[in-house]
Structure 1
Amino acid sequence: MKQITKSVYSVGVIDWNMRSFHGNTFITKSGVTYNSYVVNDNEPALIDVVHKGFEEEFIKNISEITEPEKIKHVILNHLEPDHSGSIEYMAKVLKNAKFYGTAKLKEGLLKYYNLNIDITVVKTGDKINLGNNTLTFVEVPMVHWPDSMMTYCPEQKVLFSNDGFGQHIATNKTFTDEVDCGLIDKEVAKYYANILWPLGAMIDRSINNILKMNLPIVFIAPSHGLIWRKDINKVIEKYLSWAKNTVTNKAVIVYETMWGSTEIMAREIARALTDNNIEVKMFDIAKTDFAEIAYEMLEAKAFVIGSSTHDNEMLAYIAGFIHFIKGMKPKNRIAVSFGSFGWAGGAVKEIATNLTSFGVEVIDQIGAKFKPNKEELNNCYQAGMKLVEKLK
């Protein structure tokens, strides 16, 4: 339990051992948190419940603030199991509570779980009074599910932001300014890149709708990670920038190689970019998790994707990664496809076709037979120079 304001307490739990989130694409090396908050008042309210398996610790945390039976209101901002997994247990313990959520949440929750509770449907602008505090609801559909909403407490100036502004950091610290700012900057961007990137238009609209409400916000309390009490305007501006797919003059090279030749090509493309002071990040997809690469690609204008050819097609890891990036719906990007082949090619064209299909402009395609010779290496360098021209 951690006190945030006079009336608001953090009562969530830390999952130190979670290593993959959202399937197996988001590797969470230090674990995650499932945040929940109590607004302690005449009629105490609980904002969200936690993942299944943490019920006893969760109840203990709540009990440090108030007896669970005294909770009168349970706000369910989101349906996903990391937010709602303990709901069947909690509905029995919080026997005197009313439950609130959007219409989509009610529909999904009653389908997902074996529940015999009434859920009051709320929409943007609806309020409940707790005594000295009120809670106001703001629907934010597709940030990042159709059921999503945020909850605002004007008296405490706290925005309970659901999945917005979260990070996957397992720590017993409470606020973002209590840990290294470089770590926070990376993890909030990594979270956005892997969870929210494809939803930019909806995120932009939702944030601007909230800004138009002129809510004084002193704390942003997300459902994962640490609470914001500093740099609030900075993180909001970052979200708005990412939502617009704003890019920087940076290139990310991702490749898969069978016998090393495609890696040689990747290094030559990188050399041209480096010679011209363009920031480059390079990854062997077979040795790096998707989440880390997505983070690097979030603000990069240039995608450089390569694969050796096998059976006239690209290799399996890079094929899966391109499918993953397609789901992110990147905009305003340019690309080069490249790769080596033996007796017949195919991967380079296949990569280019895939990138083009979801709106990435492919400015060059470079192949090399077996090990690249001097001419083929020069072609790689020149492909890098074409990127330089577009990036500078």
Structure 2
Amino acid sequence: MEFDKELLLSVNRRDLLKLSSSALAVAALASTGISTHARAQEKSSTSVVPTADKPIRINFNENALGMSPKAQNAARAAVAKSNRYAKTEIEQLHKKLAMVYKVDEKSILLTDGSSEGIRAAIEANATPDTQLVIPELTYGDGELFAGIAGMKVAKVPMGKNWSFDIEGLKTAVKAYSGPSIVYLVNPNNPTATITPADLIEPWIKSKPANTLFIVDEAYAEFVNSPDFRSVTPLIQQGAENIILLKTFSKIHAMAGMRVGYAVSTPTIIARMANKVAGEKLNYCGVCAALVSMDDKPFITYSKQSTNVSRQTMVAVLKELKIDYLPSEGNFIFHHLPVPLAAYKKHMEEAHILIGRAFPPADSWCRVSLGTPEEMLVVAETMRKFRVKGWL
């Protein structure tokens, strides 16, 4: 199944401006006719009816679009040979990633999703007196694995609008006499906001003593803001104090396949390799990853679909005058005028699953972005909840 990139990018701007409903953006995306996959979505756009058995799942930051059809075919074909280990394919994925990142193959470590990468990065560099420095509101696996490793965790309060307080993080490092590991998720989860590169890069380049930066860029491919830059160029330039963590779970829509990787110096990667059970990824996941990397039209479509879903969610939030943070991921963080527990319950009764609580942002709600068609249903449900006083 082929995706036509030119058709994907040919949405008529004048037509978009004429429409007052977010439904237009959905229609524009579907009307590109770029693939059997997209046409199937267009056909079902008026029949998204969530049920108890098939709810709209917008609670785990999964990519609701689904994997590239080419990657799906590769995964199916891999089943027939999955009685063997994927040694050849794993070597191919190593080479391909090293080529993409322009680093030595010894600078790449394949992991079972990004979670194994977080654990290995922390365990490989932790000493009895190492502290983990994290923002107070961020992805929880860093703190989880630091706790298992017996590390001290320094949680720095957030800045304005739940932003990272970089100066506060610096202070936490300077005030500590032992080694520090700084864990930064960019874009952040659950806020979906970015920390501008101009705030991160100078700190990394200053090479603070005994400090290692773990930078988790799971959602980077969704970013539209020019203020974001990956730390990849710093690694390519020889930085020895960074571990970049990546995953195929998000833009590639392979969350269930559990394929991730780390990029760093050969020395750091060698230490991390001692903390994983070898690069024994599943055959289907590796084969799907290899094909998905080359399916550029699908990746473009995946991002465009997310942009349309985000547009729909932002439009209803503005309409209902609900505060939200600027999203650069495949989810959006917004303030609730009602208790989260009650709102979540009402949503579940409407067969829509939303995110859990994220202390200390107890009055905020994280909503992952479903397909454009699903988000139209979510938006209409929110409007109905406002009339009922539930939102």
TM norm structure 1: 0.28
Structure whose residues are more often helix by fraction: 2
RCO comparison, higher one (Cα < 8 Å, 6+)? 2
| Structure number, greater radius of gyration | 1
TM norm structure 2: 0.28
Structure whose residues are more often strand by fraction: 1
